[in-house]
């Protein structure tokens, strides 16, 4: 039985990974979160990898609070960059393959065309900078790695859809940004892609988001419509959002990733975001 260490197992993607491998007798997941493994400590990582002798490591751990990353810079670098480095070192030491998850925030969001793996990163926030540093460490220290950049992720846990549903219980009108574009991506869809790639030798950098694109305001409208809520969504600009919440970090205005490497090297395709959100909302609403 092949052992897979999963970091960040209690997050949205970690839970989706567990759902994907549930009942599979070929693999044994060794689940870790911050309580079981401090990925910022290379000795702790090596101790675990030498004990477990994993076939693979799936790194779902990250400091994803974009606004807090602007304040907790050291911690963001420790988790998103040093943590990724340590896991790459541990994977190489164990002869294991590493699946590392990154983000659309490595791009500035200023180029109005779908971004491929061949476009140059230039992050504008500390979250993006620390995640990009993590990517570079993985490329430097991992012998066998897959790196998937995803965006606008939602799943079992705290996410945009649940935030909108919570606000809809309290407010008749919700202001939501309408000038940031991206592809809402189901954690389950991302977990499926990870499971597809992991046994292959098709190593390298991939983009992994649901097909199609939208803006936050339209995504919010879709979520509330599927939940049967009549709360009104007020589309607002990013500038207006910054006026209302001045501490917020800069977000990429254009975050549409094209899954170009998947299309060039495989026949694997993500579901369309509108189909994926319907599946998620039905499960969330208990239908």
Our measurement of the distance from residue 281's CA atom to the centroid of its chain's CA atoms, rounded to an integer in Å, reads 19
Q: Are 87 and 47 in contact (CB under 8 A)?
A: no
Task: Judge whether 127 counts as a catalytic residue.
Answer: yes
Our measurement of the distance from residue 120's CA atom to the centroid of its chain's CA atoms, rounded to an integer in Å, reads 19
Catalytic residue selected from 21, 63, 127, 145: 127
Q: Are 284 and 234 in contact (CB under 8 A)?
A: no
Q: Are 119 and 261 in contact (CB under 8 A)?
A: no
Pairing outcome for strands 145-150 and 97-103: parallel
CA 101 to each of CA 74, 90, 117, 158, 175: distance values in angstroms, whole numbers, following the listed order: 20, 16, 14, 18, 30
- Catalytic positions: 127
């Amino acid at each position: 039985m092949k052992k897979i260490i999963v970091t960040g197992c209690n997050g949205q993607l970690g839970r989706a990974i567990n759902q994907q491998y549930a009942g599979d007798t070929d693999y044994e997941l060794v689940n870790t979160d911050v309580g079981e493994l401090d990925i910022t400590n290379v000795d702790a990582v090596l101790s675990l990898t030498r004990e477990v002798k994993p076939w693979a490591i799936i790194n779902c751990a990250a400091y994803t609070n974009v606004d807090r990353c602007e304040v907790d810079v050291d911690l963001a670098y420790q988790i998103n960059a040093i943590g990724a480095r340590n896991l790459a070192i541990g994977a190489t030491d164990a002869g294991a393959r590493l699946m590392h998850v990154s983000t659309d925030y490595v791009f500035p969001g200023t180029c109005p065309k779908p971004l491929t793996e061949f476009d140059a990163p230039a992050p504008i926030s500390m979250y993006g900078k620390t995640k990009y540093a993590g990517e570079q460490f993985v490329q430097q220290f991992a012998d066998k790695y897959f790196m998937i950049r995803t965006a606008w992720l939602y799943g079992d846990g705290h996410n945009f859809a649940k935030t909108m549903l919570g606000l809809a219980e309290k407010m008749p009108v919700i202001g939501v940004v309408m000038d940031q574009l991206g592809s809402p991506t189901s954690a389950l869809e991302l977990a499926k892609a990870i499971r597809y790639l992991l046994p292959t030798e098709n190593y390298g950098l991939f983009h992994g988001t649901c097909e199609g694109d939208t803006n936050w305001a339209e995504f919010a409208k879709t979520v509330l419509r599927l939940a049967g809520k009549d709360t009104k969504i007020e589309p607002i600009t990013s500038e207006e959002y910054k006026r209302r919440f001045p501490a917020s970090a800069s977000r990429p205005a254009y975050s549409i990733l094209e899954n170009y490497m998947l299309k060039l090297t495989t026949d694997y395709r993500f579901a369309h975001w509108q189909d994926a959100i319907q599946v998620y909302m039905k499960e969330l609403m208990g239908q």
